[in-house]
Structure 1
Amino acid sequence: MHIEIFQSFPYLPELISVSVIAVLMAISPGADFVMVTRNSVFYSRSAGIFSALGVSFAIWIHVAYSIAGLALIISKSIVLFSVIKYLGAAYLIYIGWKTLRSKSLIDIDESSTVNVLSQWSAFKVGFVTNALNPKTTIFFLSIFTQVVNPQTPLWMQLIYGLIISLSHLVWFSVVAIFLSQPALLQLFKKSKKNIERVVGGVLIGFGLKVAATTNS
């Protein structure tokens, strides 16, 4: 029975592998998670969801260069990977520093109109964070050079990309919805300055860790 299934759909093993790795990749803590958390808590549920949407759209950049064969080139080029790594590190440190320096970033009050992040700005933050995330780059390098066969047709590779993108969208949307619950926001409000410091410090920490990571 299993043999017949594999014969009728030879890409099933790849599909299962990619799907499992995509879910694990999405839920593993990292810069994307911290950024979506930041925008959900500091701004609004909508900001968190649009950040999640930005992350899922950025996934297609990684899919595109992987399908184009650039993943193999990047994996062999210290210079190209270093450029991605340092740009990503700089962006995380920049956002972290802005969070630490903000005087009134969190004013969690339903009647407040001062603390607003537009949907487009939230989308851009999520998009750039993922697009320049070396962790995501490494993930795609391993997927498209180790798991996906070079002979796998384009339409199947696009399905893999869709699975990865949707996994990130669903997971981070759930994170945004959960963290923006009114009861949780009231708890966050009581410790808003400490949360600012922690989130800003974590983002800067991620950035420094990325910059310090070797390319080997």
Structure 2
Amino acid sequence: MLGIENVWLFVVSGLLLNLIPGPDSLLIAGRAATQGFKAGSAAALGIGSGTLIHIIAAALGLSAVLATSATAFTVVKVLGGAYLIYMAISMFRSSSAAGNTEVMQKPQASLKRIYYQGFITNLFNPKIAVFFLAFMPQFISASSDNKALAFIVLGLIFNVNGMLWCHLIAWASSSLSNKLSVSITTKKWLSRVTASLFGVFGIRLLLTSQS
């Protein structure tokens, strides 16, 4: 009916792809390590929401615009790269402010704000849209009666598996931070390292070519 093929291979491939570190997993790990599991979970849910938009866009063919239009691709990547750099600067400022106080402010950012950070970070990454457009059709038969629905089903499978992995990252980062009894100074430098990596990811995204 839907013409979905090799679901097991799709699941395995998706899980392996989720293991590759990027700004999404970095945001989750950083927030969970400094603010706890709930913060990491909020970031993960925001990322999952952004991924859902990419899935729907791919199903409707909107991602094809990013893949074929240099202007659209450039606009989205500039927005995404600029936001990552903005996050890097904001985290640097927050870590400096926390370092000047004797008590670590908890939470440094609200769960709602962290959710939107995850959402925007994921949404404005054109590489994700192009990825879905290139990856998922391999598992949909050319004779499928409803390719858009097949796209959505596969996308939901990918997203659910991704959320499980993201929450595992959040739990592991939070647990490790608690077990090690991370000091305020350590959290400050961890935040700065995370901010630096966000800056690097932002610059890399700005330099990304469409091909």
The partner residue of 1:204 within 193, 199, 202 is 199
Partner residue of 2:151 out of 146, 152, 157? 157
Q: Please say if residues 88 and 133 of structure 1, whose CA atoms lie closer than 8 Å, have aligned partners that are also in contact.
A: yes
Give the fraction of aligned pairs with identical amino acids, expressed as a percent.
26
Q: 2:164 aligns with which of 170, 178, 200?
A: 170
Partner-residue secondary structure (3-state), 1:171: helix
Counterpart secondary structure, 2:97: coil
Q: Residues of 2 paired with 1:105 and 1:170: CA distance?
A: 31
Q: Is the 8 A contact 1:71 1:144 kept in 2?
A: no
CA contact (8 A) 2:57 2:63 kept: yes
The number of residues matched between the two structures is 205
1:163-208: CA deviation from partner (whole Å, max 9, x where unpaired): 1111221111111111111114x23645233222211110000000
Name structure 1 gaps, 5 residues minimum: 1-7
Q: Quick check: 1:57 aligned with 2:49? A: yes
Residues 106, 192 of structure 1: 8 Å contact kept: no
Amino acid at match of 2:5: L
Cα 1:12–1:114 change in 2 (3 A) is closer
Read off the aligned partner of 1:187 and give its amino acid letter: V
CA deviations over 1:8-29 (Å, ceiling 9, x no partner): 995232x234323321232210
Greater Cα offset, 197-206 or 137-146: 137-146
Q: CA deviation at 1:118?
A: 2.4
Residue 183 of structure 1 corresponds to 179
1:94-132 Cα deviation digits (max 9, x unpaired)? 00111112223479x9x9654343222221111111111
Post-superposition shift, 1:66? 0.6
TM-score by length of 1: 0.83
2:129: which partner in 1?
A: 137
User: For residues 177 and 66 of structure 1, what CA distance do their matches in structure 2 show?
Assistant: 31
Q: Which runs of 4+ in 1 moved over 3 A?
A: 104-107, 111-116, 144-152, 187-190
Among 79, 85, 97, the alignment partner of 1:87 is 79
Distance 1:56 1:192 in 2: 26
- Distance of aligned partners of 1:188 and 1:65 in 2 relative to their CA distance in 1, 3 Å threshold: farther
* 1:101 is aligned to 2:78: no
Letter in 1 for 2:194: V
Amino acid at match of 1:118: S
Kept after mapping to 1: 8 A contact 2:5/2:140: no
Q: Residues 127 and 188 from structure 1, CA distance in 2 versus in 1: closer, same or farther, beyond 3 angstroms? A: farther
Contact kept, 8 Å, 1:105 with 1:115, in 2: the verdict is: no
